[in-house]
Structure 1
Amino acid sequence: MNFPKALIMADLGCSSGPNTLLVASELVKAIDNIRLKLGVDESPGIHICLNDLPQNDFNTIFTLVSKFQNNLTSQMTPHSSSACYIYGVPGSFYTRLFLSKSIHFVYSSYSLMWLSKEKTLTKQVPEMAHINKGNIYMSATSPPSVIKAYYEQFQMDFLTFLKCRAEEVVSGGRMVLTILGRRSDNPCSKECCYVWELLANSLKDMVGEGLIEEEKLDSFNIPQYTPSPKEVSNIVEKEGKFAINCLEVSEVNWDASTDRNIRLPEEVAQEYNMGKCMRAVAEPLVLSHFGESVVEEVFERYKNNINISMSREKPKLINVTVSMTRKG
């Protein structure tokens, strides 16, 4: 049986925290189960490469490695002895990160919807403050030039990502990507723009009250694009080095990860989780653009807008997941 003696896997956009090593744990256990089913005696050495931007808190991840390895040992089947090695790889995944033809499996979750450079987007739409006035993202009132600029930036970024990985992944290697996306062909669909509209409303109220300058609002653009399955498929086919095995769309309730130790009514729990989640995502962007002095007020208003909205609607996260194989 030609079972590999070593496997190298990469988690791109790993972030930091208690869940960072969860995917690594599941991958190691899955590989060990396959080994046992095939009747292979020797476990492969497994290298897990954790990637994120240089400012990511890699130190926190490394303090969790010992606990991760102990938990993994206790969960593995008897007589399993997979050696698992953890590495930190700082850098943008829109650049090369690994040696040519060295990676067997690539995984990324909730990272690829972020555009590589917000300023590049702004340059693609001349005088965007006047063209997309009053918006912080794509919306029903955005002109076609703004929608086009967002999509072109995503297409360029995703193509760059695929080209880099095509150089690094071995022939027959696999890649699984989960991207925050949408079902609709309309990039301004409520299913992907809704949460940013609520933030925009909070900021516009503060502009009306003189707490934020209007020019500051008009120059603020969320560097994110949530693609449709068709857009993902078209870009993968355009790049040409990967074959799509599976392309799926799924829904996740906003309250799916609410802390079960917090005993709140269901509707309140969902509001709490959505507000907490969006603050974690948006606060660095708001802080860097508007300054620290308005952050608390912005997110207090944002939370209130979320509460009001969610009393009427039950928004869901739309995930686009694609599994692909590196062609020979």
Structure 2
Amino acid sequence: MNTKSILRMNQGHGENSYANNSSLQMKVMSKALPIVKDIINDMFVNNLSLEMSESFNIADLGCASGPNTLLLVTEVIDTIYNLSNKNLQILVVLNDLYKNDFNSIFTTLPSFNEKLKEKYGFEFSQNCFITGVPSSFYERLFPCKSLHFVHSSNSLHWLSQVPKNLDNKGHICIDKACAPNVFDAYKDQFYNDFYTFLNHRSCEIVPNGRMILTFMGRSFPDLLNDDSCYLYELLAQSLNDMASQGLVKQDDVDSFNIPLYAPYKDEVEAIIVDEKSFHLEKIEISQFNWDPLDDDDNNNKFDQIRSGINVANCIRSVTEPMLVTHFGELISLKDVFKIYANRVANHLKTKRTKVVNLTICLRKI
């Protein structure tokens, strides 16, 4: 499976799937936005070189194409407007893979620009520029020392590829029951990918430029004590159920693996130290319920069945392109995610498991 051709193709597969995934992305981004504002404020207050700059260049990596795509842009522009010389030019570059629906983003830009004019005036709005760069962020994207600020949300837990020569029968990702060599293969792939990501960005970001990255992580260093990948283990069990019913081939299930790794914070810190280009200023851990619409852990009327469906819709929006690519159009996704929703609901009867996210703030040395 060529992962670069399918990663982040979660444009929405059914209204509920898209809405639930968008809700989860909004929750994750809402935790990072205050940090983004604080960092940009610090950059303008304490970085004398910015006072002499004619432009402030921003990249949003793994931007996707949903309703939240321009949320970061809006918040950053608002923050800069309240801090800077109103003649400063702001360039925002949106990046994702080639198959991302950039056209849907660009068709919203005229109305977005009109809102800028209404809120900030014509002159300031004419200094705001938005463009797109379709490519993998595991490759070089921009000229040397051309960026002041880089942001990425919900992207870097996706690897550039499934680890090579992987024997992971019965599973589709790492989990507690996997062989140690499977865990090591995923960990090594993440190390190589994240190191490469940092190395490329180090060339593109100006000295003292900043980068804020949010992605899935783990609560514990030992996978046996962590539930970070159990969402996908339940999907593996659902696919195995389909195979036992003769609805898909067992060989196809055994050869299917998702290119996802949720690192422990110490692993991330070690790679940053090894790469040597960035100073780690902050790392924050946040947790969210599996169900993106479940905000109340004290709710005595918690509906496990409804939450099972919500989680299934969310995971379907992420994994459907990969499933179709691997199994073909004949796979009954309706059946897969019906089984999956039931498995999630049964799990939630005993434990309201969390998704863990890491938000890290880096300064270019």
TM-score, structure 1 length as denominator? 0.88
**Aligned-residue offset at 1:78:** 11
* Secondary structure of 2:83 counterpart: helix
Q: Are the structure 2 counterparts of residues 49 and 188 from structure 1 closer, same or farther at C-alpha, using a change threshold of 3 Å?
A: farther
Name the CA shift for 1:258/1:276 in 2 (closer, same or farther; >3 Å): farther
CA distance in 2, matches of 1:3, 1:252: 41
Q: Quick check: 1:47 aligned with 2:85?
A: no
CA distance in 2, matches of 1:220, 1:190: 22
Partner of 2:347: 309
Q: Greater relative contact order: 1 or 2 (C-alpha under 8 angstroms, separation 6 or more)?
A: 2
TM-aligned CA distance change 1:274 to 1:3, over 3 Å: farther
Give the paired residue count: 309
Counterpart contact for 2:113–2:125, Cα < 8 Å: no
Distance 2:185 2:266 in 1: 18
SS in 2 for 1:320: strand
Q: Are the aligned partners of 2:282 and 2:360 in contact in 1 as well (CA < 8 Å)?
A: yes
Unaligned runs of 5+ in 2: 1-47, 296-300
CA change 1:283–1:176 in 2 (3 A) is: same
The partner residue of 1:283 within 297, 320, 325 is 320
Note the alpha carbon deviations across 1:204-255, whole angstroms, 9 max, x for none: 1111112222211111111100011111111011100000110111112334
SS of the residue 1:122 aligns to: coil
Alignment partners' CA distance in 2, 1:272 and 1:306? 8
| Counterpart check, 1:57 vs 2:106 | no
Shift in Å at residue 296 of structure 1? 2.3
Partner SS for 1:87: strand
What does 1:127-142 correspond to in 2, within 5 Å?
128=167, 132-142=168-178
Q: How far off its partner does 1:73 sit?
A: 3.8
Tell me: CA distance 1:270–1:297, structure 2 relative to 1, closer, same or farther (3 Å). Answer: closer
The CA deviation at 1:116 is 0.2
Query: For structure 1, which segment, 267-276 or 142-151, has the greater mean C-alpha deviation from structure 2 after superposition?
Result: 267-276
Deviation beyond 6 Å, 4+ runs, structure 1: none
Deviation at 1:201, TM superposition (A): 1.1
Once the two structures are superposed, what CA deviation does each residue of 1:55-112 show, in whole Å capped at 9, x if it has no partner? 0000000011122223334444999557211101000000000001101100000100
Q: Which residues of structure 1 form unaligned runs of 5+?
A: 260-264
Match of 1:160 among 191, 196, 209: 196
- Contact (CA 8 Å) 2:96, 2:133: kept in 1 or not? yes
CA distance in 1: counterparts of 2:215 and 2:173, whole angstroms: 18
Over the residues paired in the alignment, what is the CA RMSD in angstroms? Answer: 2.2
Matched, 1:71 2:118: no
Kindly provide the amino acid, as one letter, of the partner of residue 193 in structure 1: C
Give the Å deviation of 1:187: 3.5
Structure-2 separation of matches of 1:24 and 1:90: 17
Identity %: 41
Give the whole-Å Cα distance in 1 for the aligned partners of 2:210 and 2:316. 33
**The residue matched to 2:228 in structure 1 has which SS?**
helix
**Quick check: 1:6 aligned with 2:55?**
yes
Q: Report what 1:221 is aligned to.
A: 257
Residue 159 of structure 1 deviates from its aligned partner by: 0.5
Amino acid at match of 2:164: T
Secondary structure at the aligned position of 1:27 is classed as helix
Report 1:117-266 matches (<5 A).
117-118=161-162, 121-123=163-165, 125=166, 128=167, 132-187=168-223, 189-256=225-292
Tell me which residue corresponds to 2:138.
94
Q: Give, in whole Å, the separation in 1 of the partners of 2:208 and 2:362.
A: 9
What amino acid does structure 1 have at the position aligned with 2:74? S
Equivalent in the alignment of 1:106: 150
Give me the whole-angstrom Cα distance separating, in 2, the residues matched to 1:77 and 1:305: 53
